[in-house]
Amino acid sequence: MGTTSTHVNLPGSEREVFRNAKRGKPIEPHTRFEVTVRVRRPPIPAERIRPPKNAPHLTHKELEQQHGAKDQDLAAVAAFAARFGLVVVEQRKASGSVVLSGFAAQFEKAFDVELYHYEHDHGTYRGRVGFVRIPADLHGIIVGVFGLDNRPFAHPHNLRARAGLSAESTTFNPQDLAALYNFPTGVNGSGQTIGIIELGGGYRPTDLKTYFKNLNVTVTGTLTAVSVDNGANQPGGDADDEVMLDIEVASAVAPGANIAVYFTPDTTDKSFLDAVDNAVHDQANAPSVISISWGGPETGTTDSFSTQIDETMQAAAALGITVCVASGDNGAADEGPNEWDGLAHADSPASSPHVLAVGGTRILAQGGKRQNEQVWNQDSTDTQDDSFGSSGGGISEVFPVPSWQAQLTLPPSANPGAGPGRGIPDVAADADPASGYNVRVDGKNLVIGGTSAAAPLWAALIALVNQQKGRRVGFINPTLYANAGGAPFNPITSGDNKVGSKDVGYPSGSPWNACTGLGTPNGQEVAKIL
């Protein structure tokens, strides 16, 4: 692009062609879009991420002052942008984010990349290969560039129940599952805000009103749609299943909690990062819990994305925000049958060591009592069967084993030659569509499952615990693992998340396994240890 001699590779930014994609024509020079640049920030020490019990968490102002980007680094990026005719749309000091707007030709020159149209099995995207390159004087200052490539990354982790559920199938209202899992009583989430990340879709207030009326649930918390990257509450598409599931599960269990839904318009890593960034640093709605039911294989994005999303999760922990993330619905493969490469994959951002990764089970109950529970796995060799699903879980190939998992005997990665890494999920809850959640979407009553439902269920539990204790419990993983095998959990010792003819995956077991983690919650016992 003519700038190679003055530019250097940005570590962690390397991209390959999307699987089975073919390169087409160059991107038109005057195509306008936005790019998010992340700059370095002072690291957050461990004692801030996990302060002693009852010690205060950082305020938003303290986080920005102590661990936000330096003014001179933000100014250096602004000056760089001006040299190439790019416009600074927004700067966020707390997260070190600088949003730039410009034309394709300007971005190609500024970051020494070539942008092309790529066609793949499910559509087209604007893409690049190789490294993003930055001016040598910004090496070490710029740590991530997102949005040059807009290939899809994340997908929702939900599945509708297949038509004609079998006789042994039983579906549940969310509050019924809360009772089966012994959630705290006498609290409703009042004073808490649950942030929900959504990459498209929307909700219809009339549906919510009807749904909660039919459940005989009085919702007193507010519901707010927050726009990120020009996203909006736009019901009418496939993503509505995810949006309505998340809201209905969270509000049915914690009807006093406020709900803030962060809408971003697409499923790229840029939009994902921007949405989580906005939720974590939102001082107006100030979520104390965040639920994320979207994700994709770690291999589906760059190392710099993994690093930056984890740093954002560290900031959430320092603020006392508990982040609950679905672990995926395609077993250890983490990819649908038609896309699977035959290897095991951990789901991102569930693999971040600073989130609570939530897997899935199938629960059986009778007379309002939990009778049996096993790993959710509907493994199928029929690649046309959309109801295929299994609890996501496995070993990260990006993040090492965190200290609070060191006492466990983690299984080796199902991939030959892969080293040890962070194990997911941490916990689980009902996710099988055959024991799924009764919801309402776009005027229809449906049954939906997936780890997408398990994540907001755990988020609602945390909101109840926060209210009960009068404080934010924040980053809870170390405490949960210190009680592995104890009363807070229902261990899952039946089933596996193996997929395909090669049986790639992991078995169940106690005190932890790579299908359902430590197990499903005994909510009141969980509350006691936090």
Active site residues: 242, 246, 452
- Which of 494, 495, 447, 501 lies closest to 166 in space, CA to CA? 447
Query: Which whole-number Å values give the CA distances from 133 to 2, 80, 111, 498, in the listed order?
Result: 12, 13, 5, 40
Is the dihedral angle over the CA atoms 198, 204, 207, 211 positive or is it negative? positive
CA distance 267 to 280: 19
Measuring CA to CA, which residue among 323, 451, 459 is closest to residue 393?
A: 451
* Residue 468 CB coordination number (10 Å): 17
Give 41-50's long-range contacts (Cβ < 8 A, gap of 24+): 41/67, 41/68, 41/69, 41/95, 41/96, 41/311, 42/66, 42/67, 43/67, 44/314, 44/315, 44/317, 44/318, 48/318, 49/314, 49/317, 49/318, 49/354, 49/475, 50/317, 50/474, 50/475, 50/478
Q: Enter the tokens of residue 477.
A: 């993983």
- Distance, in Å, from the CA atom of 349 to the CA atom of 154, rounded to the nearest integer, reads 9
Count of Cβ atoms closer than 10 Å to residue 16 Cβ: 11
What is the per-residue DSSP string for 285-316? T--SEEEE-EEEEGGGS-HHHHHHHHHHHHHH
- List, in sequence order, the alpha helices (H) in 159-300: 174-180, 205-215, 240-253, 269-280
479 Cβ contact list (under 8 Å, min separation 6) = 529, 530
Q: Which of 4, 195, 33 is nearest to 125 (CA)?
A: 33
Dihedral (CA of 59, 60, 61, 64) sign: positive
Whole-number Cα distances in Å, 318 to 60, 193, 470, 473, 474: 9, 17, 17, 11, 8
How many Cα atoms occupy the beta-carbon half-sphere of 59 within 13 Å? 4
Which DSSP string do the residues of 484-521 spell out, in sequence order? Answer: TTSTTEE---S-B--BTTTTBS-B--SS-BTTTBT-EE
Nearest Cα neighbor of 27 from 110, 125, 112 is 125
